Structure 1
Amino acid sequence: MRKFGHWLTSPWRRSAVAALAGALPVLAFPAPALWWWAYGALVPWLLLARSAPTARRAAYDGWSGGFGFMLAMHHWLLPSLTVFTFVIAALLGALWAPWGWLVRRFLAGDGTDVPTRGRLLAGLLVLPSAWLGAELVRSWQGLGGPWGMLGASQWQVEPALRLASVGGVWLLSFLVVALNVALAVLVSVPASRAPAVAGLVATAATASAAWAWAPRPDADGRTRIAVVQAGVIDGPDARFDREEQLTRRLIGQDVDLIVWGESSVGYDLGDRPELAERIAALSRATGADILVNVDARRSDRPGIYKSSILVGPDGPTGDRYDKMRLVPFGEYIPARSLLGWATSVGKAAGEDRRRGTEQVVMDAGPGLRIGPLVCFETAFPDMSRHLAEDGADVVVAQSSTSTFQWSWAPEQHASLAALRAAETGRPFVHATLTGVSAVYDASGRRVGPWLGTDASTTAVYDVPLADGVTPYVRYGDWPVHLALLVLVALGLTEGARTVRLRRNAPAPLGPPARTVHGSPARPGR
C-alpha cells in the first residue's frame, strides 16, 4: 500500500486512477445491469479523495472522477461527437470537484486520518446532498440532461421502484450515495465504525419505512396498446412502407391504441395528405387511433420540428405535441456561432430543430388519455410527473436510438421508462423506431417482452391502468430541496467557522523597535 501511495504522488497518475474509480458505477447500468454494484461502486473514489494530501488535490480527485463517470456513462457518443465527448465529460466532471473537497473535509477531518464521530455522521447527510447538487446542475437540458443519474441504476429492483414513487430517482441517488459513504467509513476508519454502522442502519430503516408507507397504485381497468417497431431501414419512404405493413398485422386484434416510434414519418402530413390518408385507413382497419411521430419541416410555420401526432379514422385529430427538450448537439448546437465547429468533427446537428412550448394530454379513444414524450425527454422526471398531474392515464414515449444501435444506449434508454412509471403511478409505453421498445405497469414492472434492436415487428400489450396520486407527483422533487437546504446550512456553518477562526487568531506582532547605534531607541531620544 505504501508503494501504491508513493506511486500516487504523481498528479497525472492520481488523476488517471480517480477517472477509473469514477467510471466504476457505469457497470450498474444497462447493458451490464449489475444493479447491486452501485451499492459499493463509489467506495474506491471516496477513499481516494479522502486520502488527498490537500483540499485542492481532493477537489481535483472529484473532478477527475466526475470526468471518468461522465465519459463512461456516455462512451457511446464517441463515434458521433469524437473529441467533443471528452470536452463535455471534462466540463461536466467539474461539478464533482466540490464533492471531492467535501469528501476529504468530512471523512478525513481537518487533514487528519481520525475525523470526529460528529463529522462522520454529518458526512452521511452532506455527501449525498452534494452528489444530488451535482446531478441537479447537470440535469439542466442545456448541459445534457439527467441521463445516467445514479439512482437510475436501480430500475429493476422492486423495492427501489417503490421508493421512487415517494421521492423519485433523486431519493434513490441519495440513498445509494449514503450507503457508499457508510461503507467507505467502515473500510477506512476502523475506530469510527459506530457512526458507519449507525448510518447503514438509519439508511435501511428510512428506506424500509418509506417502502412500507408508500401507497400502491389502485387498479383501474386495462387497455390494449400495440407498438410498431420498424427496425433499421434506410429512407423515409421505405420506413413508412414497412410500418404500414406491420400495422396491418394488427387488424382484428382489438387494440385501443397503436404507437409508432420517433421519426416514423419523414414528411409533414400537411404537405403529404396522401400519407395522412394511408395512416387514417390503417386506423379504420384496426379500429384504433395511431400515434405517429413526424420529423420534418412544417408547412404551417418555419423550421423543423419533432412532433407526436394522433391520427384517427378521419385523419389527424388535431392533437399534436412538439418536442420541447432537444438533445444538445444531436438536435441543436448550443451557442452555434461559438460551437458550430462540432459539425466538422462529428455527427452534430447541421440545422437546429425548433422547440415546442407546452406539454399536451391527448384523448386517444373512449376513456383513454395519453401523455406523449419524445425520446430524450424520458430522462426528465418532471415531464412525466406533469403529465400525470394533467390527467394522463398512460405516458407514451416515442424514441429512436438508431444512431447508437449497437451500443448500451438503447437498453439504458428503455430502463428509464420503469422509473418514470414508478414515479408517476402511471403505465409507461416506450415505443422505438429500431429498439429497444418496452412497456411497464404503474409500479414500474415490465409488461410483456422487450423488443430488441434486432427486431422489426409489432407487439400487443395488455396494460393495466391505475388510479391515485403518488407522493412524488404530489410533493415533487423534495429530496432535492432537502439536499439544497443541507448545503445552504453547510455554507452558513463553514462561513461562521471561518469568521470565528479569524477573530480568535492572535494579533500580528508590531514592527521591531528602532535601534540607535546598536541599542534600542528610547522614547524621547
Structure 2
Amino acid sequence: MVGLDPAEVASPFRALPLGSALPLAVIGGVLLALSFPSPGWWFLAYPAVACLLVAVMGQRSRRAAWLGYLAGAAFWIPAISWAGRYLGPVPWFALALLEAAYLALGSVAIALAYRWVVRVVPSTAGRVWGLPAVVAALWTGREWFSGSWPYGGFAWGRIGLSQSQGPFAHLAAYVGVLGLTFVVVYCVAVVVSLALVRPTVPGSGFHLSGRVAVAGLLVGAVLAVPAWPTAVDGTIRIESVQGNGPAGYFDGAQPGEVLAAQVAATDVAAKGVDLVVWPEASAEFDPRQQPVVASALDSVVRSVGAPIVAGAITQTPSGVLHNTSFVWTSQGWQSSYDKKRPVPFGEYVPDRWFFSKLAPSLIGLLQRDYTPGTKPNVLSVAGIEAGISICFDIVDDGLTTDMARGGAQVILAQTNNADFDGTDENLQQLEIARMRAIETGRSLVNISTVGASQVIDPSGRTIDRVPAYTATSMVTDVPLGTSTTPATLFSGSLTLLLSLGGLLVLLACAPWSRRRRQRIA
C-alpha cells in the first residue's frame, strides 16, 4: 500500500474538513461581493481572499473545484444582480454561474499550488514568500483569462477593481488593474502563510509578535510606494451633459426624445466652455443622414460656442451597424470612433444561430447586431487629443493603454446606463472608470445618460459630479495629462508574465512532487 506523503501530512496548508471549508468559501464569496458597490466596502476584499485561500488550500481537485464554484456563485450572483434588470433572471444567472466556473478552475490551480509547491520548496522562506507569489500569479491569470474569453470575456469583478477607494489604488499607475490584483492577493497570501507556517528548523521561528511585525512591514512597504507623479499641462473647460432622457432599450421612447432631453439639459449660457460632451447614443441617429439631428447639434454648437462630442447609432452603406462617438463642429461632422467592445448578448448576439435554438424568445428581443469598430480611440477636438471610451470599452485593458499611448490628454467615458435603472451597475462602472484614470494618469469625464456622472482627476479624486437621474450639466476645468505611467507601458506584459509564470511554476512542480512522493512510498 502506498503511504501518505509525510510532507503533505505535516504541511501547514492541510485541507480543512468539508464542514468547515464550505461555509468559509461561501463567506469569502459574500464578503467579496460586499467589497464592490454597493456598499463598496473595499477592505472586505482582504478577508474575502483569505477565506477563499484557506477554504481550498490542500483540497483535492474535485473538492477544490466545487468549493471555488460555490464561492463564485456567492460572489457573482449578488455582484451582478443588475444583469437581471435588462433581460431577466436567465442571463443574470447564466453569466454568474459561468464566471463562477472560472473561479472553480482557478481554485483547483491554487489548491494544487498549496500541495505541489510546498513539497518542492519546503523551506520557511519559500512557504512564506515564494508560495504566495505563485498563488497570486494564478489568481491574476484566472482574472485575465475570464476577462478575455469567450467573446472578449467579462472583466468585471476583479480584485484590483474593488480597491478604487482603498489605500492601494495608486499602485494601478505602476502595475495596472490586474497587477493590483496580484499585489492584494500576494499580501493576503503572505499573511495567511505567516499565520500557518511553522519553522523547518526548531527554535528559529517567529513568535506571534514577530509574525505580526513582519506582516505589518510588508503592508507598510507597499503603502510606502509613492503615487506616480502625474504631470498636467493646463486645463480644458468641459460641459458634460446628463440629459436623463428615456434612453433604455425597453423605455418605449419616441424617436428624438433622448436628443431633446440632451438639448434641454445643455446650459447654453455657460461661459468659456471649450468642449461639450454628451453620453453614449445621445444624439440617437446619424446627423449626416438626419437633418433634424444635425440642426439640433448646430444649435448647441452655435449657442455654446464650442464643438461637441456626442454619440449615435450609425450605419455603413453596406448595412453594418456601429455604436459611434463623433466630433461635431460649426463645420459639421469631423471625425469619429466606433465602439470596439460591443456587449455580447446586449449589443449583439454571437453565434446567433446557436443561441436562438437554446432561448429563441430571449434572443429574439435583441434585433440589432452592432459590429466592433476598427478606428483609433483617440480623437482631435478643441485643440486637444481626447481618448474615447464608449460604455463597456472601459473594462478593456488594451483599449485603455491604446488611449494613453495614442496621446490622449483626457478620457471621455460616454455611457448609457438607463437599462440598469435603480441598480448598482452604474456605480460599479464608475469605479472601473476611476481605476482607469489612476492607471493612465489622465483625468476622466464619466458622462452617463442618467448617471452616475462624475469628473475624476488623475489621482482618482472626484472633482465634479451631478446627481443621478437628474437632467443637468456640469461645467468643469479638467486637467490635461501629459505624463506616461509605467502601467501604460508595461502592464500588459506584466500580466502575461505573471499569468504564464504562475502556471509554468505550478506545472514544473508537478513531476518533482510526484517523484518525491514515489521515493517516500
TM-score, reference length from structure 1? 0.84
Unaligned runs of 5+ in 2: 1-15, 247-252
Structure 2 contact 309–326 (Cα < 8 Å) conserved: yes
Structure 1 contact 440–447 (Cα < 8 Å) conserved: yes
Judging changes above 3 Å, is the alpha-carbon distance between structure 1 residues 406 and 356 closer, same or farther for their aligned structure 2 residues?
A: same
In structure 2, give the amino acid aligned to 1:479: L
CA distance in 2, matches of 1:361, 1:259: 15
In structure 2, give the amino acid aligned to 1:491: L
Among 22, 25, 31, the residue aligned to 2:32: 25
1:264-275 mapped onto 2 (5 Å cutoff):
264-275=282-293
2:305 pairs with 1:287: yes
In structure 1, give the amino acid aligned to 2:160: G
Report which of the two structures shows the higher radius of gyration computed on alpha carbons: 1
Q: CA deviation at 1:475?
A: 1.8
Judging changes above 3 Å, is the alpha-carbon distance between structure 1 residues 7 and 505 closer, same or farther for their aligned structure 2 residues?
A: closer
In structure 2, give the amino acid aligned to 1:427: S
Judging changes above 3 Å, is the alpha-carbon distance between structure 1 residues 138 and 62 closer, same or farther for their aligned structure 2 residues?
A: same
Q: CA deviation at 1:81?
A: 4.2
Aligned partner of 2:367 in structure 1 is 350
CA distance in 1, matches of 2:212, 2:288: 64
Judging changes above 3 Å, is the alpha-carbon distance between structure 1 residues 187 and 455 closer, same or farther for their aligned structure 2 residues?
A: farther
Which segment is superposed worse, 493-502 or 34-43?
Answer: 493-502
Structure 2 contact 139–182 (Cα < 8 Å) conserved: yes
- Root-mean-square deviation (CA, aligned residues, Å) is 3.0
CA distance in 1, matches of 2:469, 2:273: 24
2:144 pairs with 1:136: yes
Unaligned runs of 5+ in 1: 507-525
Among 145, 155, 158, the residue aligned to 1:149: 158
Among 344, 351, 372, the residue aligned to 1:335: 351
Q: CA deviation at 1:106?
A: 4.8
Q: CA deviation at 1:331?
A: 0.8
- Specify the SS of the correspondent of 1:8: helix
2:480 pairs with 1:453: no
TM-score, reference length from structure 2? 0.85
Q: What are the superposed Cα offsets for residues 48-92 of structure 1, whole Å, 9 maximum, x if unpaired?
A: 22374x332123212322233232321211232422322322222
CA distance in 2, matches of 1:91, 1:412: 20
CA distance in 2, matches of 1:75, 1:37: 19
Among 372, 379, 387, the residue aligned to 1:362: 379
Structure 1 contact 268–299 (Cα < 8 Å) conserved: no
Q: Size of the alignment, in residue pairs?
A: 488
In structure 2, give the amino acid aligned to 1:152: L
2:412 pairs with 1:396: yes
Aligned partner of 2:259 in structure 1 is 240
In structure 2, give the amino acid aligned to 1:84: P
1:370-519 mapped onto 2 (5 Å cutoff):
370-449=386-465, 451-497=466-512, 500-501=515-516, 504=519
Q: CA deviation at 1:174?
A: 1.1
User: Share of identical aligned residues, percent?
Assistant: 28
In structure 2, give the amino acid aligned to 1:469: T
- Specify the SS of the correspondent of 1:377: helix
- Specify the SS of the correspondent of 1:40: helix
2:189 pairs with 1:181: yes
Q: CA deviation at 1:347?
A: 8.6
Judging changes above 3 Å, is the alpha-carbon distance between structure 1 residues 408 and 256 closer, same or farther for their aligned structure 2 residues?
A: same
In structure 2, give the amino acid aligned to 1:229: Q
Structure 2 contact 279–311 (Cα < 8 Å) conserved: yes
1:27-176 mapped onto 2 (5 Å cutoff):
27-50=34-57, 52=59, 54-79=60-85, 80-107=87-114, 117=124, 118-140=126-148, 142=151, 144-157=153-166, 159-176=167-184
Structure 2 contact 56–68 (Cα < 8 Å) conserved: yes
Judging changes above 3 Å, is the alpha-carbon distance between structure 1 residues 41 and 495 closer, same or farther for their aligned structure 2 residues?
A: closer
CA distance in 2, matches of 1:284, 1:155: 39
Q: What are the superposed Cα offsets for residues 143-201 of structure 1, whole Å, 9 maximum, x if unpaired?
A: 542112111111123x4332111011112211221233234345556779859658735
Which segment is superposed worse, 480-489 or 406-415?
Answer: 480-489
Structure 1 contact 81–342 (Cα < 8 Å) conserved: no
CA distance in 2, matches of 1:55, 1:402: 42
Q: CA deviation at 1:504?
A: 4.5
Judging changes above 3 Å, is the alpha-carbon distance between structure 1 residues 245 and 86 closer, same or farther for their aligned structure 2 residues?
A: closer
Structure 1 contact 261–398 (Cα < 8 Å) conserved: yes
CA distance in 1, matches of 2:235, 2:255: 34
